[in-house]
Amino acid sequence: MSIQRLMAVKDEKQTLLDSWQEIEDKAEAEKRDITEHEESEYKKTMRKVDKLSAEESEILKDAATAAEWRDLTSRSVGMDGINLLGNGEKTTATRQAGARDYRSMFYGQPDKQLDTRGFDSFDEFIKVLESGRYEPRLNELRQMVTSLGSEGGFMVPEGFSAKMLDVALESEIVRPSAQIFPMDTETMKVPGWAGFDHTGGTVYGGFDGAWLAEAGTATREIPELRQIELKAKKLAIYTHASRELVESGVNFESQLMAAMQKATSWHLDRAFIAGNGVGQPLGILNSPGVVTQAPEGGQGADTILHENLSNMFSRLHPSLINKAVWLANSSAIPQLLQLSIAVGVGGVHIPVMTESSNGQFKILTRPVIFTEKLPALGTEGDIVLVSLDQYAIGLRREIFIDKSNSVGWLQDLSDYRCIVRVDGMGSWSDVVTPENGPTQGWAVTLGDR
């Protein structure tokens, strides 16, 4: 009965939050402040929500219930990016498949109104935080922190968290195309098929086809499954500001929000591309299932040849070609721009990297994205051909922010810390050994030169 109770608790909590949102919406529509009676009702509602949150945490302490809940919220990862095991059933636990914006991921409603905990703006939230005075709304946010202990800070109201993550998404490389799994708990296990050896015709972890004669008997296959475990890692972003800037600076809250969005975007992308998996996501370059294409014999240092690119293209799994993109360090631009194919003796040269009408560069029909987060020219991984939808990301909905003036006390500075919790890794456990030909991967890098 625990899982049923858990779902009932979550539904009841959401109903309470929705009822308060209706009151807020009504006040906003009538262009008036919240009345004393409504504020009293708000406090009653939040007390009920806190009790339900405590009950929810207590239920999830049971390992079996937590595992069952993870199963309900999981979606599997397949080689071609489809939901292999999901039943498509719409419940409180299942969100909009493939969605990457905050509201669709966590609520399945792209237009849902999100709770701001009574703060009119991010500016008001920051200034109340900066004041250091007792504030019931901040206290309620503090009580909602259950997993980060004394390091948790204050949870940023959902309405502001959504904006921060959604705007950061627009400037990232990996997250807009990756598979995103909203996490309700610290860890999440995503099931998927194992088995990447296709020799002998066996695919997807044990499915072996057979041609049968009339009345022939088929062989029963027991497919092999595996699990990808995502465990939320903490990304902490720090900045500081003078008290005068906080209290009287023009659009300080917009500047702080924009700075946090840019920093979040930059650090998430760097981890998803090159993270080593130790206290941070396991990036594309270090994930299993990635093939490294050796350079040509006698190839010069810090060079890129047409043969390198065509060989890399051949090592990407064929089912992923139409979704693949090239990622390259900006230091590779001169090499790529000068690369061409001669046509006949003394004929014209056809550039290998072309530009489309919208200004997008392409190599072998696939888009090229330049980024500083890859190694410099000549180092393994300076150019990568990758299908980003084969990368799995787990994202917690909460963002935490805290401030301290202990370090900058003599200068009257306030230090701000923002914490986002996320994990990521490639969804493949190994490279594919095809029935014929060399190994293939979901990503292909070029080796050291």
pLDDT at 277 (0 to 100): 94
Whole-number Å distance between alpha carbons of 322 and 336: 21
Higher local confidence (pLDDT), 264 or 247: 264
Residue 168 · residue 264 · CB < 8 Å:
yes
Cα–Cα distances in angstroms (integers) from residue 421 to residues 182, 187, 207, 322, in the given order: 11, 11, 37, 31
pLDDT of residue 397: 79
C-alpha 219/C-alpha 211 separation (Å) is: 11
Residue 218 lies in a domain: yes
Q: Locate the DSSP E strands across 348-387.
A: 349-351, 353-355, 361-363, 366-370, 383-386
d(CA 229, CA 425): 9
Looking at residue 117, its pLDDT comes to 76
**How high is the mean pLDDT of the chain?**
76
**Residue 86 resides in a domain:** no
Calpha distance 399→116 (Å, rounded): 13
Lookup: tokens for 248? 């009287």
Q: At what angle do helices 136-143 and 122-131 cross, to 10 degrees?
A: 90
Structure tokens at 213: 């004669």
Tens of pLDDT, residue by residue over 296-320, are: 999 999 999 999 999 999 999 988 9
Residue 126 gets the label, from left (phi > 0), alpha (psi -120 to 50) or beta, of alpha
- For the ranges 19-33, 69-83, 138-152, 253-267, the lowest mean pLDDT is seen at 69-83
Q: Which residue has the higher pLDDT, 246 or 90?
A: 246
As a whole number of angstroms, the distance between CA 364 and CA 353 comes to: 8
pLDDT of residue 75: 39
pLDDT in tens, 62-74: 777 776 665 554 4
Number of folded domains in the chain? 1
The mean-pLDDT minimum among 55-59, 162-166, 197-201, 434-438 falls in 197-201
pLDDT of 61 higher than 80: no
Residue 94: is its pLDDT beyond 70?
Answer: no
| Residue at 195 is within a domain | yes
pLDDT at 82: 33
| Angstrom distance (rounded) from CA 314 to CA 57 | 49
Amino acid at site 134: Y
95 in any annotated domain: no
CA-wise closest residue to 442 among 352, 312, 330: 312
Structure token pair of residue 372: 């500083």
Highest-confidence range of 60-74, 214-228, 236-250, 336-350, by mean pLDDT?
Answer: 336-350
Specify if 51 maps to a domain.
no
The DSSP string of 48-110 is: HHHHHHHHHHHHTTSHHHHHHHHHHH-----TTS--SS------TT---TT--SHHHHHHS-T
Neighbour-count burial of 214, counting CB atoms closer than 10 A to its CB (0-12 exposed, 13-18 middle, 19+ buried): exposed
359 lies in some domain: no
pLDDT for residue 4 is more than 80: no
Domain that holds residue 218: 189-228
Q: Cα–Cα distances in Å, from 429 out to 178, 191, 226, 432?
A: 17, 12, 9, 9
Sequence-distant (6+) residues with CB within 8 A of 373 are: 173, 269, 270, 273, 274
The reply to whether 206 falls in a domain is yes
- pLDDT for 228 beyond 70: yes
Q: Is the confidence at residue 15, as pLDDT, over 70?
A: yes
pLDDT in tens, 365-416: 999 999 999 999 999 999 999 999 899 999 887 787 776 655 545 555 667 7
Please determine, for residue 145, whether its predicted confidence score (pLDDT) is greater than 70. Answer: no
The confidence band for 84, taking pLDDT boundaries of 50, 70 and 90, is: very low
pLDDT score, position 336: 93
Share of the chain above pLDDT 70, in %: 71
The values of phi and psi at residue 379, to 5°, are: -100, 140
Residue 205 lies in a domain: yes
Phi, psi dihedral angles at 215 (to 5 degrees): 65, 15
